[in-house]
């Protein structure tokens, strides 16, 4: 209800409709469907909830902005504006070839200063 609307009404038992999807913590992949660079994250799961056929292979690409997808899903059930976290891409995108790692950042940020905890 962050936007003042109830997009995910609780089930009769009081459970949130996404509880099982989130707690299961796995992605479904359909190798018979096409891969897409953006938009496949949770596409199969959401299509199933919406009683429609899925269009992609599911899963997620390493460069996919999954946090925006998760925030949008949780806040407005995907039925409103995209909810953004303000981080649209990694510093260096992942490679498209195995082992799919991004090269090291040649100019990493300074680590935060560590403060020692003071005693009582």
Please check whether residue 115 lies inside any domain of the structure: no
Give the model's pLDDT for residue 33: 94
| pLDDT tens-digit readout, 30-77 | 999 998 888 888 889 888 888 999 999 998 888 888 899 888 888 888
Domain count for the chain: 1
Asked whether residue 97 is assigned to any structural domain, the reply reads no
95 falls within a domain? no
Q: Provide the residue range defining the domain that includes 36.
A: 1-86
| 60 Cβ contact partners less than 8 Å away, ≥ 6 residues apart | 27, 40, 41, 66
And the tokens for 62? 């390493």
Q: In this structure, what token pair is assigned to residue 44?
A: 């199969």
Given a cut of 90, whether residue 104 has pLDDT beyond it is no
Residue 23 within a domain: yes
Q: Convert the pLDDT of each residue in 29-43 to its tens digit.
A: 999 999 888 888 888
CA angle 60, 98, 32 (to 5 degrees): 45
Query: What is the model's pLDDT at position 4?
Result: 74
């Amino acid at each position: 209800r962050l936007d003042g609307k109830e997009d995910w009404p609780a089930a009769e038992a009081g459970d949130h409709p996404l509880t099982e999807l989130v707690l299961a913590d796995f992605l479904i992949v359909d190798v018979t469907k096409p891969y897409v660079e953006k938009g496949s994250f949770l596409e199969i799961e959401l299509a199933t909830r919406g009683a429609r056929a899925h269009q992609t292979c599911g899963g997620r690409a390493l460069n996919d902005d999954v946090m925006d997808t998760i925030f949008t899903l949780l806040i407005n059930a995907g039925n409103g504006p995209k909810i953004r976290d303000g981080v649209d891409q990694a510093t260096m995108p992942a490679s498209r070839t195995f082992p799919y790692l991004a090269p090291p950042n040649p100019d990493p940020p300074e680590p935060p200063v560590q403060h020692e905890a003071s005693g009582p």
